Amino acid sequence: MAIERKVNVLMVSTALQSHINPMLRFAKRLIPKGVHVTLITTETARDRMLGINNTASNTTNQEEEIQFEFFSDGLSNDFDRNKDKTTFVDTLRTVGSKNLSNLINDLSKTKGQNYSCMIVDPLLPWAIKVSSDLGIPCALLWLQPCGIYSIGYYWYKNPLVFQNLEDPNQEVQLPGLPLLEAKDIPTYLLPDFPAFGKEVMSEIYQDSDKLKWVFAMSNYELEEEIVKSMASFIPIYPIGPLVSQFMLGEKETNAVNMNLWTAEKSCLQWLDNKPDSSVLYISFGSVIVMSQKQVNNLATALKNSNKSFLWVIKPAEKGSEDEVPELPHGFLEETKGKGLVVTWCEQEKVLVHPAVACFMTHCGWNSMLETIAAGVPIIAYPKWLDQPTNAKLIVKKFQNGVVINCGEDGIASVEEIEGNIKEVMEGSSAVGIKKVALEMKEAAREALQEGGSSDKNITEFVNDLKNSTNAD
């Protein structure tokens, strides 16, 4: 009788919390199906984890079967990667890729492991070639909606469709998607976006023939039409929503989220003292820094709306030149009892708290999936990258929220913000939006239950790896 060998999978991620956590959550789904996971990221992530007293040793958590490994991106610790993205991306592609390849070779020799697959981050498209050169089958974990993967594919294969995007009213119609104006297109595909963004996208599709699988963080039911439209040219397999298990009503066997910032515990205690569905939660993620005018307008709208709110304003990272705006003078005193402002929070736990009525978000895909899993309506306030497209999907496809319209300067007026808050929390659309949000929550849970659409895709992937491993 043949002995079934353990399936070993590599995951390679950038040192961003919004990229590492989906990888970890995917790993969480693979482990019970007999897969050992090694997650590899850059040393900057390890240094951040050590800085907030998290364990970051190169050891395996035996219960979780996740092994962490780290490679150098080729830059010193004091190099400002946010300020000089071009140098960072170039060095990561050249020096970092060699360091990653050497690390994997060393792991294969020292641990005697054969890897059945390497799952890569879309911000590291050069890792597809590293995988190919090492003879390891490659998969891409796409960290944005399936629709945006499709937009990028058409942009790369048929650029004539995207001419004249300098005109914000220029329209683009693609299969499975609502009619898009130029302002709805991911900003990294627009003419004025820095060249490095377009280069990364080009690399993803340039080497798409080297990918054996493309996985999506969402579930089939959420993006059914677009998944069907892609089936004939570049199939994509939804395996999510990739959120923590407790958000889906499952038992959390051991949390595997990686926190690169320290959350303030006071948030949940504060929410405990608020009535159900009474609090507006506001957070714009770990990267976006709002301007002073944006903060002023939002603060005024919050005061005028007279709603309870929990507002996350992340401080600038150590060494960063970003200037974090200040709250208007007297704002905290004037909203005392109504509002709480913190530097970071445990977002998933906040979203499932019964006191939370809706979420004002930048529309990062992680945040949107967490909101969907929680059944919470969305107030979209997008800025760049995939966020404008995600906001369009909220209104035209998902219908689980509203979108704040900004002026040409990217800043929403006090009246616009205030009006959207009232519409979602008490307006004529509030009941309908909440109903849709709860239906999406139920579909998300069913997708990852045994036999659900996402669970089936994960099982088929693992069986494919096992068959390949045992055939060698």
Domain boundaries, the chain: 7-257+447-471, 266-427
Confidence (pTM) = 0.91
| Residue-level pLDDT at 112 | 77
* Three-state secondary structure of the chain: CCCCCCEEEEEECCCCHHHHHHHHHHHHHHHHHCEEEEEEEEHHHHHHHHHCCCCCCCCEECCCCEEEEEECCCCCCCCCCCCCHHHHHHHHHHHHHHHHHHHHHHHHHHHCCCCCEEEECCCCCHHHHHHHHCCCCEEEEECCCHHHHHHHHHHHHCHHHHCCCCCCCCEECCCCCCCEEHHHCCHHHCCCCCHHHHHHHHHHHHCHHHEEEEEECCCCCCCHHHHHHHCCCCCCEECCCCCCHHHHCCCCCCCCCCCCCCCCCHHHHHHHCCCCCCEEEEECCCCCCCCHHHHHHHHHHHHHHCCEEEEECCCCCCCCCCCCCCCCCCHHHHCECCEEEECCCCHHHHHCCCCEEEEEECCCHHHHHHHHHHCCCEEECCCCCCHHHHHHHHHHHHCCEEECCCCCCCCCCHHHHHHHHHHHHHCCCHHHHHHHHHHHHHHHHHHHCCCCHHHHHHHHHHHHHHHHHHHC
Same fold, 7-257+447-471 and 266-427: yes
| Residue-level pLDDT at 47 | 78
Per-residue pLDDT of 155-180, as tens digits, reads 998 888 887 788 878 899 999 999 99
Mean pLDDT taken over the chain? 89
Could you tell me which CATH class the domain 7-257+447-471 is placed in? Answer: alpha beta
The topology under which CATH files domain 266-427 is Rossmann fold (3.40.50)
| Residue-level pLDDT at 63 | 43
| Residue-level pLDDT at 408 | 78
